Structures are given as structure tokens and as C-alpha cells.
Structure 1
Amino acid sequence: MPRRPGGKFLRTGAVFLRGVRMVQNQIVPHAQAWQQHNRQVLDGGDEPLWVVLGDSMAQGVGAKHFKDGWVGQLDTRLKKAGKQYRLLNLSISGARIRDVMDYQLPELEALGDQPELITVLIGSNDMVRKKYRVNALADFDELLEVLPVGTVIGNILGGKGVPIAMDMRLQRAVQARGLIVADIRRNGPQEWKGLVAEDFFHPNERGYRILADVFALAIGLPAAE
């Protein structure tokens, strides 16, 4: 007769599930906040345009406030450095690589305005299931071919397999396609303890600060104080 899981196991599982629900409950409010922000940006302005492409990490999911994700924190860093952008966040929670090409890049192209800065962080959701990983490399190769020259793109973590292959392709694209790497694998933390949200998947505010630091380094901002 199988043994029932012990109390410690059940308590740990309950805490994890509460954490997952807590973070999932941020998805809609964060998306709505960015949509409102985007509407204000599209109403006009003279500043150069910064367009963000990506998934829930670009939405700031895992941080209590949507502006405390890496995008919002990088925006603050840019402003402190005297670089004022109209920030348009086209990212979508749950997005995979294919979604950037099918939905987000067409939105960018429809803007009419030429962005001065484009940032991308995508691929984590392609790793969560085998059926997604199967096409991830081919989709990533295609994405690297269609991203505008000068796009700043972050690599994703993972110690073997597809993430490693994606990183190798990305490093080659720096020369071949004129892309800029925000090198999270080499310039980000080696240990994420204390840097993740309650779902143990998304970064928290401190984790997002480090991602903002990596993107800041890639675009030539001075080190954070």
C-alpha cells in the first residue's frame, strides 16, 4: 500500500501552490497597467522610441508593481542617465519565440516610427515543455534573421541542451546580424537564491534589478550605484 506524503511535503507543496497563484494573479493587472501606459505613449511625444518585445518577464510578473520588473527599472536607469525614451512595451505574458515574430514584430512595424532602441528577452516559455523545445532552435534562428539591426537581445539560462545552442547562435549573430547581446548567462547571477518570486520561476524585484543591470551594460550605461 503506498505511503501518504508526509506533513512537511504537503506544507511545502501548499506554499508553492499559493506562490504560483499569487504570481499568476499579477498577470492581468500588469498587462492592463502596461496597456494603459502604452496608450499614453501612443498619444504622442518628442522623445525617441524604445520598444520592448518579450514575455512575462518584460511585463514585470513576479514583481509586486509592474514598473519594478527589469523594463521599468531599466527605464529608471536610463532617465537618471539623461536618456528619455517613449517606452512602448509590446510583450505578452506566456509568449514564446514564435509569438514575437507572429504578433509583436508586426505591431512594431505598424507603428510607423523608427525605434531608437529595441530590447528582447524571449525563450523561457519555449523550454517548459518538450513539444515547444522541439521547434525552439528553428524559431530562434528565424527570429535572429528578422530582428532589426542593433536590437539588444538577452540570452536565457539553462545548463545544457537547447539554451546552450540558442546562446551559441546568438553569439554568432552579433557579428553576422549586428545584434547586441545582453549576456545574462555571463553577466547575471550564478546563484538565484533570494532573487525569485513566490512561484520560483519569475524573478522578484531584486532579480529584475540584476536583469536591468545586464541590459544596461549591453547598451553602455554606467554601473549602478
Structure 2
Amino acid sequence: MVSWKPVFVVGSAVATCAAALSAWSAVAQKRARVAAAKARLNETLPVHSKWWRDTATTDGEILYVAIGDSAAQGIGASAPKNSYVGVIADHIRSATGRTVRVVNLSVSGATVALAVADQLPRFAGYEPDIVTVSIGANDIADFDPETFREGIEKVLDALPADAIVADLPYFFFPRNEHKVAVANEILRRAGGERGLTVAPLHEAMQKQGLRGIMTQFAEDLFHPNDHGYRVWASAFLPAVTDLAVRKFPRKPPVAATA
């Protein structure tokens, strides 16, 4: 009797190899698309930076200053105004009925140390009405708790008492989340000691669940998209709104003249 076993074994091996090659090809294509997306978003860095510089020259009754990194710049959004900083500024205008000047001191790629070296000296030249800070996400890759503590305390010490500081965002992956948990414990404790409001950015993102992975990120799978930035803004808005309307009660409507 002829045995078909070797034929089946060979056929199975061929099918397994084909499946493996197909999977490898899909992964390689995905990596290539993500790399291309990163390159495209890198090209937007000077565009966003110029947009915010131009915006800072616009006068406003309320001065809003932001400290941060590429998220504050709005990298990944369809336009700089759709960053969380832009969303917050629009909300301040709506809540107060007043014009808002936005000075966005953020720099793409900024770590806490770079914010101390670059953004804080520039921040000292302003007397802002509203301040938001979101910094530290870029420290996670090479995270050192003591270095982070020293840097974040310098940032917080430079802020007015009513500044609103976000904790670090939700990273989704356990390895990074362990480091984020340590960083956020440091940040929240330091913020509490100084009486600062800490916006719950991590919680706001985490509440989105697994669906957030599919809906919150730009094509580079790292920066937020427009929806993601609205989630970021939602972490700030309760505190920002309360501060804005206390400082700037909404103007009564102008009576029409006959």
C-alpha cells in the first residue's frame, strides 16, 4: 500500500511557509506605511511651528500660554488649530465671550529637561491668564525617576499657582505603562505639594479602552489625530473652564441701538 503521509507533511510545510511569508510581508508593509507616515508628519513640524508663531502675534483680552511637546504643537492633527491647545483656546473664547491670544511655547520632541532649558526662560517673559502644561511623555523611553523628579519640580516651580498641568498620557503597552505610573506618581505628588491642578489626561485616554487604539491616533500610530486631541482637551477643560469664567465673567450682550 502506498503511504500518502510524506505528501501530506510536505504540503503542510509548504502551507505553513506560505502563511509565514504572507504574515511577514503584511508586517513589513505595515512598518513601511508607518515609516512613511512618520516622514510625512515630520514635514509638518515647521508648518505647525510657524502657525503658532504667527498666532502668538494676534492680540486678545485673555493670554493663554502652553508649555509642552509635539502634542501641544498638534502634530498628527489635520491642522494646528485642532491640537488640544487649539481646542482649549476655542473653548475659552466660547465660555467667556472674549478674544484669546495663544502663545504656544511647545517644541516637538521636548523632554522635561529641554522644557526647563528652552521653554521656561521664554515663559518668564509673559504674564499669562491661563497656563497649561503637558510634558514628560518623551522622557519615558529613557526614563530615570530621579532625573524626571528634578526636572518636573523645576517646571512646576516656574508656574503660577493656578496653572493646569496634565499627568502623562496613557501609553497602552504594559512595559511603558509601568514607567508612566512611576512618572505620574512623581508628577501628582509634586503638583499637589504646590497646590497645582493636575488634569487627568491618563484617565481620560484610558477610559477610551481598546477602541481608543483604533480611533485616537494619527497615521504614524504615535501622535493623536483630531479625535485624540479632543480627548486630550477633555482632560483640561473642566479646570480651564472654571478658571476662565472666574477670571473673566462672560460679557453681557451689547444692546442693539435704535
Normalised by the shorter chain, which TM-score bucket? Answer: 0.7 to 0.9
Per-residue Cα deviation, 1:14-49 (whole angstroms, up to 9, x for no partner): 1111111122121111111111112x23xx54x121
Aligned to 2:38: 20
Q: TM-score, normalised by structure 1?
A: 0.84
Q: Which amino acid aligns with 1:177?
A: R
Q: 2:230 aligns with which of 197, 202, 209?
A: 209
Instruction: Measure how far apart 1:147 and its partner are.
Output: 2.6
Aligned pairs (5 A) from 1:57-96: 57-82=71-96, 84=98, 85-96=100-111
Query: Does 2:118 correspond to 1:99?
Result: no
SS in 2 for 1:71: helix
Contact 2:55/2:101 (<8 A) preserved: no
Question: Does 1:187 pair with 2:199?
Answer: no
The 2-side partners of 1:150 and 1:115 are apart by 10
Partner SS state of residue 96, structure 2 = coil
CA–CA separation in structure 1 for the residues paired with 2:141 and 2:82: 25
Query: Deviation per CA, 1:82-102, whole angstroms, max 9, x where unpaired?
Result: 253221111111111112211
CA contact (8 A) 1:49 1:88 kept: yes
2:67 alignment partner AA: L
Give the C-alpha shift of residue 152 in structure 1.
0.5
Q: How far, CA to CA, are the matches of 2:40 and 2:104 in structure 1?
A: 23
On the 8 A contact 2:167/2:188 being kept in 1, the answer is no
State the SS of the aligned residue for 1:81.
Answer: helix
**Counterpart position of 1:147:** 159
Contact 2:156 2:191 in 1 (8 A): no
Q: Greater share of helix residues, 1 or 2? A: 2
How many residue pairs get aligned? The number is: 212
Query: Under a length normalisation based on structure 2, what TM-score does the superposition of the two structures give?
Result: 0.74
In structure 2, stretches of 5+ residues that fail to align are: 1-19, 243-258
Counterpart of 2:103 in structure 1: which amino acid? L
Counterpart in 2 of 1:9? Answer: 27
Q: Relative to 1, partners in 2 of residues 1:83 and 1:101: Cα closer, same or farther, differing over 3 Å?
A: farther
| 1:166 aligned residue | 183
**CA pair 115-137 structure 1, distance change in 2 beyond 3 A:** same
Give 1:55's aligned residue.
69
Identity of aligned residues (%): 28
